[in-house]
Structure 1
Amino acid sequence: MGNEGKRSEVGMRFLAIILASLLFGASALHAEEKKATEVVQSVIGDPETARSGLLVLQFAATGMTDSAARAYSTMIAQNVANTNRFIVTDHEQAEQVMVKEAPNLLPCFEIGCGIQMAKILGAERVMSGHISLDRGFIELKVKLVNVMDNEIEFEESTRFDDNTMDRRLYSIAQAIAMNTPLRGQIIRANETLVVIGLGSNDGVRVGDRMVIYKNLSVSSEQMTAIGQGNTRRANLGILSITKVGGQSSEGTYFQKIEAPHAGEYVLTYLDKRKQISLISYVRKELDTHLRHAFEVEKEVIIQPISLLDQDKNTWIRKVRHMEQERDWWQMWMTGTSIATGYYLVNYKNGDEIRLMALMGGLSYSAIEYFGAKANLKQLVQEGKFKGYLEPTFNPNISKGALGIRYQLNF
C-alpha cells in the first residue's frame, strides 16, 4: 500500500510538471504571435506602404446611354476596391467634390483632366475607360495612369456579355492589382534572413523576388534647387521569398550591397513579367553599383498636364480624311437629289434610264455619307477617350440640354 501511494504521488507530480510546461509554452507562443501581429499592424500605418488612392472616372460610351456607362464605371470601381490594394474614389464621389473645388474640370472622361482631379483629391492613380456595345457584346477598354510621372501602368481591353460580365470585371480588377507596385516594410533583418510585413493576404508567394530599398533625404542644396522637400530611393539588394504566412513572409538575400535594417522597405510586382523586368533592371544597377535616383515628390503642385500619345498624329489624319469623305459625299448627295427632283417634276418619256441612274447615285451617296458620319463619330469617341479632344462645360444649361461640346485639340 505504501509503495503504491508513493508511485501515485510521483505520477501526480510528474503530470503537474507536464501540464505546467504546456501552459507556459502556450503562453509564450501566444505572446510571440501577439508581438508579431502588433509589429505588422504598426507597419500598416506607414505612408510608404499604405494603400494608394485611385480615382475611377466615368467611362466614355459608344452605342449605349450615359447612365449605363456610369453603372459599369461603378461596377469596375467596386471590383478594384475589393482587391484591398487601393482607396478607391468613384466618379460620383469625385463629382461631388469637383462641383465645389474645380467645376471647370467637369465632365471628365479622359486622363488629362483626370490627373488634375486626382491631384485635388489626393489620389496617386487615375483610371479612365471606354465602353461600347457591338453585336450583343460589350467591349471595355481601361487605362491606369500614375499621377506622379504620367506613366501608363496598366492598359487592357476585354469583351463580355451578361453571362461572363462578373468574371471579366473581376479579372480586370485582379490584373490592375497585380500590375501595380506592391510595397512592404522590413520587420526584422540579420545577415542571412529578412522578415517583411507582406504575406499571402497581399498575394505574396514562395519564390517571389523583391527589391530592398531605403529612402534618403536629398541635400539642402538640392532641396533649394527643387524648391520642395524630396526623397530619393536607394536600392540595397534583392530578396527571395522562402516562407509565406498570412501577414508576414521570410526570405533570403539573392543579392545585396548593403545590409538592410528594420523599418526599411521592399518593392515588387505580383505580375511575373513586371516582377522579372524590375528585378533585371535593379540587378544591373547593383552589379555596377550605380544608383539611379528616383525622385518622390512630397508636395504636388496642381498644373495643367497633357499626355502625348504616340498615335495622335495617325488619329488626326484619320479625322481629317473622314471629314473630307463626309463633305465629298454630302456634295454628291445634294447634287443627285436636286437632279432627281428636277427630272421628277419635269418627267417625260425617255427619262426612265436617266432617272434610275440619278436615284441610284442618290442612294449610294447617301449610304456613303451616313457611313462617313458614323465613322467620324466613332473617331470623336476615341479622341475623347484618349484625351485628344478638349471638353468645355457650360454650368448654366437650359432644361433638357446637355451643355457639353468638344473641339479638336490640334
Structure 2
Amino acid sequence: MPAFIGKAFLLCLTFLCITSQSWGQSSNNQGDSSNYEQTQLSGFSDDERIKLLLLNLLPSGMTETAAEEIAKALQLNIYNTNHFSVVGPAEWNAEIKNQDPTLADCHDIACGAMIGKLFHADKVLVGTLHSEIMFNENNEEEPSFVLSIRMVDTRTNITDFSDEVQFTDLQMHDELFRLAARISDNTLLIGSVLSTKQSRISFNIGRAQGIKTGHQLVISRRTSARKKFVNDLHDNAFQNIALAEVVQVSDLSAEAVIVQKISSVANGDQVQTYIDREKLIHLISQTRKELDTQKRLKPKQRVIRKVPSIGKESSDYANWSKRFRQTKVEHDRWLYTTAGAGGATILFLSGSIKLSGILSVLPWIAGAGTVYSGIRFFHFRDLMNELSTEGRSLGFISSSFDPIPSGFHWTPVPKGFQIAWIKRF
C-alpha cells in the first residue's frame, strides 16, 4: 500500500511539471505576439503620400554632427516636394531605442529595411557622406562634400533610385533641392479619382506635384487585401484598368480623359504616374500591353435568347409590323415628295415656264423643298434599314437570300441603257 501511494504521488508531480511548462510556453508566445504588435511603430502622416524613412548618413572624414545637419536639410527638401511623408533619424531613433536598442543609429540598408517595416514605410533612403577637396572656378582648392544616396523599396528590397551629388557649403541647399526633385521625379506618384463624368475624370494631384497637360496616367483598382501583420496591416493588390491623359491642371488637382480601358473608372480608384519621362514611358507601355492582353483573354459574352411563348411572339411581331408599316408609309411619302420637288425645280430652271415678278422665287422654293424632303427621305430610309435588321434578327423576315442592294441600277439595252431606282425592304 505505501508503495502504491508513492507511485501515485510521483505521477502527480510529473503531470504538474509538464503542465506548468506548457502554460509557461503559452504565456511566452502570447507575450511575444503582444510585443510584436507593440513594435509596429508609426510616425508618418495618414495620407496617400509615399512613406519614406531616412536613415542616418554614414560620415567619412567629417563629424557626425555635420552629417546630421546635412541629413536634416535633405529631409526638409524631400518633404517640400509634397510627394513624401518623411520620418528622419531624430524621430525614429527616439522610438526605436525603447523597442530594440540594437537598431538605433542604423546606417546600412540591412537594418534599415527592418526599421522601415516596423514603421510601415514604403521606401528607405540610405546614404554615405564624405568630405573631399575640389577645385573651384578660380582653380583653387576648396573643401566639399560628396553625398551618395540609395532608395530601396521595403516590400521588394529592390533599389528604386540611386544618385550622387557633390557640393560646397554655399551650394548645399541648391544641390539638395535638385537632388530631392530627382528623387521625387523617379518615384511613383500616387493619387485617387475624385469624380467621373462620361470619359473625363478628376483626381487629387496637380501642378504642385509636377503634373502638366498631356501627362499620361495609369488607373488601377483595389482587387484584394492580403493580411500581412498580426495587427491587421494589409498589403493591397491593385489591377490596372485604364489609361488616361491630362487635359486640365490646377495647383492640387487635375482632369484627364480616358484613352483606353477594360472597365469603367469609379470614384476612389488609384491614379499612378511618374514625372520622369523614361520611367513614365516604361510604365505606360507595360500597362498598355497588360490591358491589351486582358481584353483579348476576356471571354466574350454570348446572349442566349429564350424561346418566347406564342402569345408573346405574336405580340412582338404585331408591334414590329406596325412600326414597319408606319415607317414605310412615311418613307414612300417623302420619296415621292423629293421626286416631285426635284422635277419641279428642274422644270423651273429649264426656262420652259416663263416666270416674272413674285413668281421668280418659285425655283428657290422648289429647290429648298427638294433638299428638305430629301433629308427626311434619307432619315426614314435609315429607319427602314434598322427595322429590317431587327426583323431578320427576330426571325420576322427571312435572311436566306442575298437581296440586290438598294440604289440606282443601269441595264444595257441595244440603243443605250436604262436607269432604275431599286429599293429592297
Q: Which has the larger radius of gyration?
A: 2
1:84 aligned counterpart, secondary structure: coil
Paired residue for 2:172? 165
The reply to whether residue 85 of structure 1 matches residue 83 of structure 2 is yes
Paired residue for 1:68? 66
1:289 aligned counterpart, secondary structure: helix
- Matches of 1:153 and 1:229, distance apart in 2: 22
- Matches of 1:80 and 1:228, distance apart in 2: 26
- Matches of 2:263 and 2:130, distance apart in 1: 52
Show CA shifts across 1:39-68 (max 9, x none). Answer: xxxxxxx96x62232211111122112221
Q: Structure 1: which amino acid aligns with 2:107? A: F
Paired residue for 1:202? 209
8 Å contact kept, 2:262–2:295: no
- Matches of 2:78 and 2:154, distance apart in 1: 18
- Matches of 1:178 and 1:255, distance apart in 2: 24
Kindly tell me: are residues 131 and 286 of structure 1, through their superposed partners in 2, closer, same or farther at Cα, counting changes over 3 Å? same
Kindly tell me: are residues 231 and 243 of structure 1, through their superposed partners in 2, closer, same or farther at Cα, counting changes over 3 Å? same
Paired residue for 1:151? 158
Q: TM-score, normalised by structure 1?
A: 0.55
2:149 aligned counterpart, secondary structure: strand
The reply to whether residue 278 of structure 1 matches residue 283 of structure 2 is yes
1:175 aligned counterpart, secondary structure: helix
Q: How does 1:7-406 map to 2 (within 5 A)?
A: 50-135=48-133, 136-217=143-224, 230-289=235-294
- Matches of 1:192 and 1:169, distance apart in 2: 40
Q: Which has the higher contact order (CA 8 A, sep 6+)?
A: 1
Kindly tell me: are residues 215 and 121 of structure 1, through their superposed partners in 2, closer, same or farther at Cα, counting changes over 3 Å? same
**What is the aligned-residue RMSD (CA, Å)?**
2.5
Show CA shifts across 1:324-378 (max 9, x none). Answer: xxxxxxxxxxxxxxxxxxxxxxxxxxxxxxxxxxxxxxxxxxxxxxxxxxxxxxx
8 Å contact kept, 2:49–2:190: no
Q: Structure 1: which amino acid aligns with 2:250? A: G
Kindly tell me: are residues 191 and 125 of structure 1, through their superposed partners in 2, closer, same or farther at Cα, counting changes over 3 Å? same
Q: TM-score, normalised by structure 2?
A: 0.53
Q: Structure 1: which amino acid aligns with 2:86? A: V
Q: Identity of paired residues, percent?
A: 29
Count of aligned pairs between the two proteins: 241
- Matches of 1:198 and 1:78, distance apart in 2: 21
How far off its partner does 1:162 sit?
Answer: 1.9
Q: Structure 1: which amino acid aligns with 2:113? A: I
Q: Which runs of 5+ in 2 are unaligned?
A: 1-44, 134-142, 297-425
8 Å contact kept, 2:81–2:209: no
How far off its partner does 1:290 sit?
Answer: 7.5
How far off its partner does 1:282 sit?
Answer: 0.6
Give 4+ residue runs of structure 1 displaced > 6 Å after superposition: none
How far off its partner does 1:229 sit?
Answer: 5.5
- Matches of 2:274 and 2:268, distance apart in 1: 20
- Matches of 1:62 and 1:171, distance apart in 2: 23
How far off its partner does 1:123 sit?
Answer: 2.1
Show CA shifts across 1:290-330 (max 9, x none). Answer: 79xxxxxxxxxxxxxxxxxxxxxxxxxxxxxxxxxxxxxxx
Kindly tell me: are residues 262 and 88 of structure 1, through their superposed partners in 2, closer, same or farther at Cα, counting changes over 3 Å? same
Q: Structure 2: which amino acid aligns with 1:232? A: A
1:138 aligned counterpart, secondary structure: strand
